[in-house]
Amino acid sequence: MLCRFVPGTRATPVGRTDAAGTALHARRQPFKNPETAMETIGKRRWVIAEGYLPPPGAERSRQLSSHETACMLNAGDAPAHVAITIFFADREPAGPYRVTIEPRRTLHLRFNDLSDPEPIPTDTDYASLIESDVPIVVQHTRLDSRRAELALMTTTAYACD
């Protein structure tokens, strides 16, 4: 069901549409921030329980090198200050790794690129806890290019709150 857009509002369809698909009866509700027409979405704590960085190989390019990525969206109006803690099966956690995501921006952060306070070891299982001071959305993606048949996997991270 489609609705006409009025800046600063969102339409919630409730009823029939005309021949063009426009809602005949729609409630108009203001966004939380009418100046930017963005709603605050997401959560402040996320978990990716599965992580693994293959040992470096003879990659053809950065785009095709094996990697794990936390794709993070800050759709809000304030910068997101994010802390990432990495957990292992046989040692104490590493981190926090700190990044900032500007308002109304996305960040695709490769775990392979994290180095401060220490690089994440390769050929090691790990999990990550992602905490932000403002709500964000997190998606996990892995590209495994160790074989000629590339494998790409992606899933939404688990939101804790």
Examine residue 35 and state whether it is found in any structural domain, yes or no: no
Say if residue 123 is in the same domain as residue 83. Answer: yes
How many domains would you assign to the chain? 2
Closest CA to 97 of 70, 117, 112: 117
Query: Is this structure's pTM higher than 0.75?
Result: no
Give the pLDDT confidence of 5-53 residue by residue, as tens digits.
Answer: 444 444 444 455 556 665 554 444 434 555 555 567 999 999 988 887 7
Examine residue 37 and state whether it is found in any structural domain, yes or no: no
Say if residue 148 is in the same domain as residue 113. Answer: yes
Examine residue 36 and state whether it is found in any structural domain, yes or no: no
Say if residue 63 is in the same domain as residue 138. Answer: yes
Say if residue 20 is in the same domain as residue 53. Answer: no
Q: Which two tokens stand for residue 119?
A: 């690089």
Give the pLDDT confidence of 50-86 residue by residue, as tens digits.
Answer: 887 777 665 565 555 556 888 999 999 999 999 999 9
Let me know: does 12 contact 27? Beta carbons within 8 Å.
yes
CA dist., res. 95 & res. 84, Å (int): 6
pLDDT of residue 116: 94
**Burial code of 131-143, b = ≥16 C-beta within 10 A, e = fewer?**
bbebbbbbbbebb
Say if residue 24 is in the same domain as residue 47. Answer: no
Confidence of residue 159 (pLDDT cuts 50, 70, 90): confident
Say if residue 93 is in the same domain as residue 146. Answer: yes
Say if residue 9 is in the same domain as residue 62. Answer: no
Examine residue 6 and state whether it is found in any structural domain, yes or no: yes
CATH of the domain at 150: 2.60.290.11
Confidence of residue 149 (pLDDT cuts 50, 70, 90): low
Range of the structural domain that residue 112 is part of: 43-159
Examine residue 38 and state whether it is found in any structural domain, yes or no: no
